[in-house]
Chain A
Amino acid sequence: MKRIRIILWFVVRNLFRRGRVAATVISSLGIMLLTLIALLGLGVLHGYQLVERARLQKDPLTHCLWLGHPAHRETWFTDKRLAQLAEVLKKVPEVKEWYPCREVRLDWFLLSEPDYSISLVGRTFLPNDPVSRVLPQAAAAASSLGVYVTSEFLTTLGKKEEDPLPEELAFRNLAGDLQKTKIAGILDQELPWRHRFLVEEGWYAEFVKKRPNVQAKRIRTGPLPAGWPESGKQLPEFVRSAFSKLQLLSPMGTRDEEERWVWEVRTWGDVEYSLSDWSERLGKIVSLMEANGFAITPSERQQFLRLEPLDISATEIEEATPYHFVVLYVPDLGHLKQVKAKLEAAGFVVRDPAYTIHRLDELGKRSASLSRVLAGIVGLLGASLFAMLASLQAMRTEVRRREIAILKALGMSNTLAATILLGEAAIIWAYSAAIGWAVAWPLGRFAIGPSLVAAEKEFATLCFVIPAVELIGVALVILVLSLATVLGAAWSAFITPPMRDLPA
């Protein structure tokens, strides 16, 4: 304790002595500058990463992994597979929660304008869907999806371009009931990716297919089965209930000009897949239709089924596992790739989100190159400052050699003399780094960060964030540089002999 008091007394007294102010200020400015640049660089770099991640994070779907068969076969996630998945996930702690999910489709069949039928499918989620919990508005948005209409469609309704967009649209659903729905927007605008919609063949289909985020695929066309109800009329009850049980979209269609039906089966993405599963289910429907008096020719049957229909009992239909996919909630986006790899190694197919992982990889690469540039700048600056401070310190030691010799003659030990010099450096380092930090924070937070990292208003606070680990790293680097500059001086003080006051 006494020794610390002695060291402190001499350190403080020396720092504020006459004639030392300039040297102290220059040392302090050097360290402050280095702190400032290092912190500003790190803060902006980290801010850039955070903003990019926040953008990804904002979309609740990006931090969820979607497992399922690439062909979107509904029965793929059987109970057995779910149990297998549960076992695998015990060894993947990065996955916080997981849920088997199914898709509920919102189909709107616009009957008010039979020539331009549009069916929209929105993906909604089960109540325990983590996505809904992450971003509650996602669920609200999903449940309140309206329809997208084209400007041409509005024109047919007698609307002009300058007229405001109607908020609601009245139509009849498949059951023939009059319903109202919101108009979500005009189809000329780019649709969010999660929307899938179907159009019948014709010029409008061609128009829609050209849109960048739309995938429409014709699966089958053929004559209308005998006994099929007229357009706009209610489907037989048995068909609707069969489709409902099988979680299938009701077959839809209108007569075209040639009185031919257009059959469309939705595809998901670009994946080409076997229709066996569909065929299996369609087979059941065909059987039901035949049982109810519809005449179906063998060629029609072949077109429906593609494969021989299976004899599936009603019990089996009930037992079919209706899960379409499993959502894994991975809170940390950085773990997505790792989790994906683990699950794929376990034999599961990860359908999404490839884009998020790609973006994260890109982000990592870009940040790494920025980090290298920053490290280069800080390194060069540090080296110059080191040289400057070292020469300054050497000059100061020469000046102080006589003073140290006097103190040693009076009884100051070599260790104490060296410790005092080190203590001075440590104090200069500490307050310079503190001032550097105090300047860097508001400067980066309010000026430099937002000007270099473009971000939405909600992410404004992320433009400049200094992470703790890097902060400690910077502090250590600067401390080592400061100590290195003073080590020579401390050694010189250590070996300075006591004053003998002898004639030369």
Chain B
Amino acid sequence: MVLDSGLGRMAIAFEIDNITCRYPGGTVPVLLGIKAEIPVGARVGLLGRSGVGKSTLLSVLGLLWEGQLEEGTVRYYPGAHDGFVDYRSVYDAGKRAKIRLCEFGFLFQSSNLVPHLTCAENIALPLLLRGWARSRWWPRVQHLLSLVEHTPGELTKLADRLGPYSGGQTRRLALLRAVCHNPRVLFADEPFSNLDSASIGAVYRILEAWHENRLHPQDPPEPRTLIVAGHDLECLWQLCDRFLVVCNGGNLLGNRVFSKEEITFDRLSQLIHGESLTHDGAESL
């Protein structure tokens, strides 16, 4: 599908078509009638106050939402000629797992490393699930570890050891796990929260490198889509080129993705921290 965003016609990765969903047994919809289109290769910042449904939207887009969508659908376009995946018709858990494994990468807010696996095994999990032998994934993991070290050997020495790790180390390892298989789409939930500046820099560098196909130069270059949910507007402003603002009730502001040319930093800041978000407010942008 081709999106005419005013910046020229570009292919889209996700078409969010009026979706509504709620938690099992819940009375209030956590997402209500959201519509948006996310272009391929975009770096999208998902902004909004706590509890407005950013993480839920990430779950839905990342096929982690196991419940049924009440209304609407999401369409994911893996490549220019691969057709699309309609989320309403993908009921099979195995198929959803395969799409997650082959297409997506996840950086969870609480990192979620597997405690009984070593540092290197945690990073290589997506590769292990693809059946890679150690001789293949070990050099890749070593290389990735060396990219996010604050001091030489800080993480590469830990490669064969079990945790615990510091908060910054944990987040960096989780990030490496999210990018080690070079996914087409990366979902990151609060990647910069509770990190020192050095770790923030490392996260930023890795995400940039992945997005620009510099992280795994042996893989064929492809446009890669980054969807980041977070509160830290400065970091997101620096990292992303487009923004979705989620308002109360899970509505997207204006049901559209704003590019940096369409919205200012200050206006975004106001929308997130100051003003009550309404559709009317969006209309006044």
- A residues near B, CB below 8 A? 2-3, 5-6, 9-10, 13-14, 17-20, 402-403, 406-416, 497-503
Q: Is the CB of A18 within 8 A of B116?
A: yes
The CB with the most chain B CB atoms within 10 A, among A410, A413, A499, is that of A410
Q: Is the CB of A410 within 8 A of B129?
A: yes
Which residue of the partner chain, among A18, A412, A497, A502, contacts B56 with CB atoms under 8 Å? A502
The answer to the question of B139 belonging to the interface, with a C-beta cut-off of 8 Å to chain A, is: no
Show 12 A/B contacts (Cβ-Cβ < 8 Å), sorted by A.
A6-B131, A407-B129, A409-B64, A409-B106, A410-B177, A411-B100, A413-B94, A413-B98, A499-B108, A501-B109, A502-B55, A502-B59
Across the A-B interface, give the 5 residue pairs with the lowest CB-CB distance, nearest first: A411-B101, A2-B131, A17-B116, A501-B108, A413-B97
The answer to the question of B65 belonging to the interface, with a C-beta cut-off of 8 Å to chain A, is: yes
A-facing residues in B22-74 (Cβ within 8 Å): 51, 55-56, 59, 64-66
Question: Per-residue 0/1 for B61-104: is the Cβ within 8 Å of any A Cβ (1 yes, 0 no)?
Answer: 00011100000000000000000000000000110011011100
Q: How far is the CB of B188 from chain A (nearest CB, A)?
A: 11
Q: Is the CB of A411 within 8 A of B97?
A: yes
Q: Is the CB of A13 within 8 A of B117?
A: yes
- B residues near A, CB below 8 A? 51, 55-56, 59, 64-66, 93-94, 97-98, 100-102, 106, 108-110, 112, 114-117, 121, 125-126, 128-129, 131, 133, 162, 177, 189
A503 and B115 alpha carbons, distance in the complex (Å): 21
Q: Is the CB of B64 within 8 A of A498?
A: yes
Given A17-B116, A19-B116, A413-B97: A500 touches B131 (CB 8 Å cut-off):
no
Q: How far is the CB of A391 from chain B (nearest CB, A)?
A: 22
Nearest A-chain residue to B104, judged by Cβ: A411
Which residue of the partner chain, among A18, A497, A503, contacts B55 with CB atoms under 8 Å? A503
Which residue of the partner chain, among B94, B100, B108, contacts A414 with CB atoms under 8 Å? B94
A412 partner residues in chain B, CB cutoff 8 A: 97, 101, 129
Contacts across chains A and B counted by CB atoms under 8 Å? 83
Q: Is the CB of B116 within 8 A of A410?
A: no
Nearest B-chain residue to A414, judged by Cβ: B93
A18 partner residues in chain B, CB cutoff 8 A: 116, 162
Q: Is the CB of A13 within 8 A of B131?
A: no
Q: How far is the CB of B108 from chain A (nearest CB, A)?
A: 4
A472 and B202 alpha carbons, distance in the complex (Å): 59
A35 and B150 alpha carbons, distance in the complex (Å): 54
Q: Is the CB of A498 within 8 A of B66?
A: yes
Q: How far is the CB of A158 from chain B (nearest CB, A)?
A: 94
A411 and B96 alpha carbons, distance in the complex (Å): 8
Q: How far is the CB of B133 from chain A (nearest CB, A)?
A: 8
Q: Is the CB of A406 within 8 A of B112?
A: yes
Q: How far is the CB of B53 from chain A (nearest CB, A)?
A: 10
Q: Is the CB of B59 within 8 A of A6?
A: no
Q: How far is the CB of A117 from chain B (nearest CB, A)?
A: 94
Nearest A-chain residue to B134, judged by Cβ: A9
Q: A14-B116, A410-B177, A413-B97 are in contact. List 14 more A-B contacts (CB 8 A).
A: A18-B116, A403-B116, A407-B125, A409-B64, A409-B108, A410-B129, A411-B101, A414-B94, A499-B108, A500-B55, A501-B109, A502-B55, A502-B56, A503-B55
A406 and B106 alpha carbons, distance in the complex (Å): 10
Nearest A-chain residue to B30, judged by Cβ: A502
Q: How far is the CB of B174 from chain A (nearest CB, A)?
A: 10
A18 and B56 alpha carbons, distance in the complex (Å): 34
A498 partner residues in chain B, CB cutoff 8 A: 64, 66, 97, 100
B125 partner residues in chain A, CB cutoff 8 A: 407, 410
Which residue of the partner chain, among B101, B114, B115, B189, contacts A501 with CB atoms under 8 Å? B189
B126 partner residues in chain A, CB cutoff 8 A: 410-411
A424 and B112 alpha carbons, distance in the complex (Å): 23
A14 partner residues in chain B, CB cutoff 8 A: 116
B56 partner residues in chain A, CB cutoff 8 A: 502
Q: How far is the CB of B124 from chain A (nearest CB, A)?
A: 10
A2 and B64 alpha carbons, distance in the complex (Å): 25
Q: Is the CB of B101 within 8 A of A13?
A: no
A497 partner residues in chain B, CB cutoff 8 A: 66
Q: How far is the CB of A3 from chain B (nearest CB, A)?
A: 7
A407 and B106 alpha carbons, distance in the complex (Å): 11
Q: How far is the CB of B246 from chain A (nearest CB, A)?
A: 14
A10 and B110 alpha carbons, distance in the complex (Å): 23
Q: Is the CB of A6 within 8 A of B128?
A: yes
The CB with the most chain B CB atoms within 10 A, among A18, A20, A501, is that of A501
Q: How far is the CB of A499 from chain B (nearest CB, A)?
A: 6
A448 and B114 alpha carbons, distance in the complex (Å): 47
B59 partner residues in chain A, CB cutoff 8 A: 500, 502
A406 partner residues in chain B, CB cutoff 8 A: 112, 114
Q: How far is the CB of B161 from chain A (nearest CB, A)?
A: 11
Q: How far is the CB of B122 from chain A (nearest CB, A)?
A: 10
A10 and B66 alpha carbons, distance in the complex (Å): 24
Which residue of the partner chain, among A9, A414, A502, contacts B97 with CB atoms under 8 Å? A414
Nearest B-chain residue to A496, judged by Cβ: B66
